[in-house]
Amino acid sequence: MTVYLHDFDGKHSLTMNTGGLAADAAVTAAGHEPNGYFWEGLVRFAWPDIAEHLDFDSEAGTFCAIGGASDLARLRTVVESVITAPDTVRGIIARAETSGFEFDD
């Protein structure tokens, strides 16, 4: 499992180590760095309805979202579906760039 849900004294977070993911080559080919900041941007663009309920604390080697358990469970489902799907990631990046969205990677 690459995506982890954590519960520390009632505070919930989701983390994912970046690098070595199946979608990394697609991210790099699109001119981006497949780091925590990139994945944070992808989540903010692709799933704003989930992202608006979360706080983020990503770093170069780690994606991190903090929020309610149900929002993080939804996030886990969508993130797990794209980190193994380079074509899906390419499509999201293309839509983001067309809309003028800028990734902070």
Degrees (nearest 5) of the Cα angle 55, 3, 77?
A: 80
What is the structure's pLDDT at 67? 96
Is residue 62 included in any domain, yes or no? yes
Is residue 105 included in any domain, yes or no? no
Torsion of CA 26, 27, 30, 35, to 10 degrees: -170
What is the structure's pLDDT at 74? 96
Confidence of residue 1 (pLDDT cuts 50, 70, 90): low
Is residue 48 included in any domain, yes or no? yes
Token pair belonging to 104: 């902070």
- The structure tokens 């380079």 sit at 86
Domains identified in the chain, total number = 1
Is residue 54 included in any domain, yes or no? yes
- Per-residue pLDDT tens for 19-51? 899 999 999 999 999 999 999 999 999 999 999
The range of the structural domain enclosing residue 83 comes to: 3-99
- Per-residue pLDDT tens for 46-101? 999 999 999 999 999 999 999 999 999 999 999 999 999 999 999 999 999 999 99
Is residue 43 included in any domain, yes or no? yes
CA distance 30 to 59: 20
